[in-house]
Amino acid sequence: MKRILSGMQPTYQLHLGNYLGALQNWVNLQGTGNQCLYCVVDMHAITMPYERDGLSKASREIAAAYIAAGVDPAQSSIFVQSAVGDLHAELMWYLATMTQLGKLDRMTQFKDKAGKNAEKAGLGLYAYPVLMAADILIYQATHVPVGEDQKQHLELTRDVASTFNHRYGRDFFTLPDPMIMGEATRVMSLRDGTQKMSKSAESDLSRINLTDTPDMIADKIKRAKTDPLALPDTVDGLEGRPEAANLITIYAALSGLTKAQVVAEFAGKPFSDFKPKLAELTVAKIAPITEKMRHLLAEPQEIDAILVKGAETARSIAAPVVAEVKDIMGFWKV
């Protein structure tokens, strides 16, 4: 049996990159004998400045987005990280004692988020990958579906798990495999095809949010940056054309076609022909999710009940793992 674990931060609204790079794959991984655990990683969300009064609501909204996108609470456990936070934070501390600073120094997400002011960044932001390792290892996850940007953090997780196993001479932690699936492993900004589509990017025009109306989606795609050339007739022809490559990638991921099939369909056409088709497809996929989210959020107590149940399942897996880690590490017990 595969045990699948993944999570998203309740920071701002989820966007098309989160959906295509991760969420859509989570949905497809359900059933077929997999045990799926999908977490709202709110303890990660506080590593950057955030609004205290909005945090709890944001966690509920992310859970609603999971369900609206097709994560089925009857098949998957959906929970909020801080509801099992005592165990995640405890394991993080143990793992922190065997994580080399040199490895954390190489993490590109920290560099991107800390920016030029790294000296002023918080310890939490720096230690984020260690908490992420704890989030995964605490469930002995075998597979972690993520976008391309999280690959480096997954490598660190495997590294820390190996260090633990080696140091204590026990084959205890499962080494999780990243699952980087589908055509859209890295969806780029609509304003700059060299930058990742991101929740925290300043311009809202750079991303399609899962809560955007059909008109907003159509408008953002219409205004998406392109180049003056027509669409190429081979995938190789997208080389050096980041914006065109991104829009083709999005179309492929939304339609379930390969990039080659999309390129073949639109070969030689101008963006003015392609963009309305892309907008239509995006609206067809996103609008039902937005609508379902709205319904779910009208009954927050139902979301809470799902999250309570999910946290119980999560705790029932995590608590014995932490107890065994303590035992292996030699802590006092009666």
Neighbours of 70 (CB within 10 A): 16
Closest CA to 244 of 319, 291, 288, 194: 194
Residue type, 23: L
Least distance in Å: CB of 275 to ligand AQP?
20
Burial 139-150 (b: 16+ CB within 10 A, else e): bbbbbbbbbebb
What tokens were used for 50? 């955030």
113 carries an active-site annotation: yes
**Residue 196 falls in the annotated catalytic set:** yes
Cβ proximity to ligand AQP, 132 vs 322, nearer residue: 132
For 134, the 3-state DSSP assignment is helix
* Cβ count near 78 (within 10 Å): 25
What are the Cα distances from residue 247, in Å, to 22, 212, 214, 222, 287? 18, 18, 17, 11, 19
Pick the catalytic residue: 196, 220, 259, 285? 196
Q: How far is the CB of 50 from ligand AQP (least distance, A)?
A: 10
CB of 196 to ligand AQP, least distance (A): 4
Contact present, 46 and 55 (Cβ < 8 Å): yes
**Catalytic position from the list 2, 103, 113, 326:** 113
Catalytic residue among 2, 103, 151, 199: 199
Sign of CA dihedral 265, 269, 274, 276: negative
Which CB sits closer to ligand AQP, 17 or 176? 17
**CB nearer ligand AQP, residue 186 or residue 309:** 186
Whole-angstrom distance, CA of residue 154 vs CA of residue 149: 10
Closer by beta carbon to ligand AQP, 198 or else 226: 198
CB of 11 to ligand AQP, least distance (A): 4
Q: Which residue is nearest to ligand AQP (CB)?
A: 21
Closer CB to ligand AQP, 205 or 230, in the complex:
205
CB of 333 to ligand AQP, least distance (A): 35
**Applying CB under 6 A, which residues contact ligand AQP?**
8-9, 11, 17-18, 21-22, 146-147, 149-150, 185-187, 196-200
Query: Active-site residues: which are they?
Result: 113, 196, 199
